[in-house]
Chains A and B, each alone.
Chain A
Amino acid sequence: MALVELKRVSFRYAGSDRHALDNVTLSAEQGEFVLLVGPSGCGKSTLLRVLNGLIPHFYEGDFEGEARVAGLDVRSTPTHVLARHVGMVFQDPENQLFLSSVEREIAFGLENMGLPRAEVKRRVREVLKEFNLESIKDRAPYELSGGQQQKVAIASVMALEPEILAIDEPTANLDPLSALEILSLVKRLVDEKGVLAIVVEHRLELTLMFATRMVVMHNGRILADGAPREALLRSGSLVGYPPVTLAHLLLKRKGLIDNGVPLTSEELASMVIRKWAK
């Protein structure tokens, strides 16, 4: 069974007159890097809240349809059980980090799960090593840079070994190099551990090249879902094209370049050279 299985899910927040999710059907497997995009208010964050059970457990409203995460029905599964399967990292990691050291931060979730102390210690050591955080393990999270905080937040949810990692706009407050570092880290978790990553982002020029799949939402519905290049062609006017994709569209309109959807500078440059060297 797929790790995430939503069937005709609709949700309307109490007091709202429109559906935040409107008949959403989505299934995702391990080893996928799903980029979830769409204009603000399109339902992306609501969808993430369904995955970790905040909807329907904490947000009041009308829930319809069927939602299974790691085989568990979100409506009948307590959120602390879902939390072992879905690691959530929010946009502003500062709100998620509150302990006095990076090491304590990573241990916290594990202790909460009731693991024996020796096991907690072992896993913390592993995670510090894996995420290359050993040199800052004694520092307080609030002293760290935005990129380091984001990394600590991801490390502390990954310590619980969830199959799914859901991240809300990880790069919003990061400089481009730190953003690429975080996205490469997520990509590595996907490739090496088979994690299913669901990443909400607006900055397509940075994230698209990492994704294996792009899901575009608009007004609570899924507008496009598929390989990043195809989904981008169908939704670019809504979510924006990365500059290289846009340049390609301009050249193609004049017949100056072959068909394709370049996502990186390297891809566009080699397409131009191939065509123009003649």
Chain B
Amino acid sequence: MIIVEDVYFSYEGLPVLKGVTLTVRTGEVLAIMGENGAGKTTLIKHFIGLLKPERGRVLVFGVDTREASVAQLARHVGVVFQNPDHQLFAESVEEEVLFTLKNMGYLPDEARAVCERVLRLFELDRYRDKSPYSLSVGERKRLAIAAVVSYDPDVLVLDEPTAGQDFFNKSKISKLIFRLKRQGKGVVVVTHDVEFAAQVADRVALMVDGRIVREGPAEDVLTDPAALRQARLIMPQIPTVAALLEAGGLKLPRKPLLPGALYLELLDLLNHRWRNHEQGSRHL
């Protein structure tokens, strides 16, 4: 669990975080959303102590980030930054993962076995001997995620994981997120991809200008037009359809975020109508 309490931070006198309070829980997916410059990346840098709060505090599994090293915190919290090139430096794909594992105290044999599994999981095994720089942007991103996932942190933080990813890789990333959640891990995604957030997030926090302006269950936040507008986001397609249906006289009982849920809502509505219709005819 990560607890962020009333955190302030500024770069060279320019305030970037202005009193952020937020809890990251294990076993759930939290999406932090907002436009570029809202302070999202600055916030997640606080999760592993890369930045320390000027006011307020950040507790990572009970430890104040000011009293721990980045290396200690990184055992609990794995962060994959937006640009994978900032965290890839080994000669080969395999060494990239092995190096991370060694750093985290894995013994050589154990590290080999884990590396093997992770490379296969991310479908990177055929590139094992290649230089990370010979890979495409999408593959480099997957490698950066693989290296962090390999040492099994309790919370995984992904900064813009879907940027530039094709449909297959996006699906792979969502599957990975669901798997980690099932294993009881916490997952934080920083994203402005509203459709992706609708797909994976349990909770959404909207950031505007260094503050969290709205936080709550995904089905509440992603269907709140005023809050989304304030964060310069658009409503995902399916909630927009639901809102238009309501305006057109078809109110759905629940708030669907995804195509399957919209379909089920409409089926329910139809069944309901049929029942009413049958009852109505019986009365006649």
Which residues of A does B touch, CB under 8 Å? 38-41, 91, 145-147, 169, 172-178, 180, 202-203, 205, 238-240, 242-244, 246-247, 250-251, 254, 256, 264-266, 268-270, 272-273, 276-277
6 A–B contacts, CB within 8 A, in A order: A39-B166, A40-B136, A243-B259, A244-B241, A246-B259, A269-B241
- Docked-complex contact B237 and A265, CB < 8 angstroms: yes
Instruction: Report how far A190 CA is from B96 CA in the complex, Å.
Output: 45
Which residues of B does A touch, CB under 8 Å? 34-37, 82, 136-139, 160, 163-171, 192-195, 198, 232-234, 236-238, 240-241, 244-245, 248-250, 258-260, 262-263, 266-267, 270
- Docked-complex contact B241 and A250, CB < 8 angstroms: no
Chain A interface mostly: helix
- Docked-complex contact A176 and B234, CB < 8 angstroms: yes
- Docked-complex contact A177 and B168, CB < 8 angstroms: no
The 10 closest A-B pairs by CB, nearest first: A240-B167, A269-B244, A265-B240, A247-B259, A175-B192, A246-B259, A250-B263, A172-B164, A243-B237, A273-B248
Output the nearest chain A residue to B232 by Cβ-Cβ distance. Answer: A177
Residues in A with CB closer than 8 Å to B37 are 145
Contacts A175-B192, A205-B237, A247-B238 given; indicate if A269 touches B245 (C-beta within 8 A).
Answer: yes
Contacts A256-B270, A265-B240, A273-B245 given; indicate if A250 touches B260 (C-beta within 8 A).
Answer: yes
- Docked-complex contact B233 and A177, CB < 8 angstroms: yes
Instruction: Report how far A269 CA is from B240 CA in the complex, Å.
Output: 9
Q: Nearest Cβ in chain B — how far from A42, in angstroms?
A: 8
Residues in A with CB closer than 8 Å to B195 are 205, 243
Residues in B with CB closer than 8 Å to A273 are 245, 248-250
Q: Nearest Cβ in chain A — how far from B137, in angstroms?
A: 8
Contacts A40-B166, A273-B245, A273-B250 given; indicate if A145 touches B36 (C-beta within 8 A).
Answer: yes
Residues in A with CB closer than 8 Å to B137 are 91
Which residue of A178, A238, A250, A256 has the most chain B CB atoms within 10 A of its CB atom?
A250
Instruction: Report how far A67 CA is from B163 CA in the complex, Å.
Output: 31
- Docked-complex contact A39 and B248, CB < 8 angstroms: no
Q: Nearest Cβ in chain B — how far from A118, in angstroms?
A: 37
- Docked-complex contact B263 and A202, CB < 8 angstroms: no
Instruction: Report how far A244 CA is from B239 CA in the complex, Å.
Output: 10
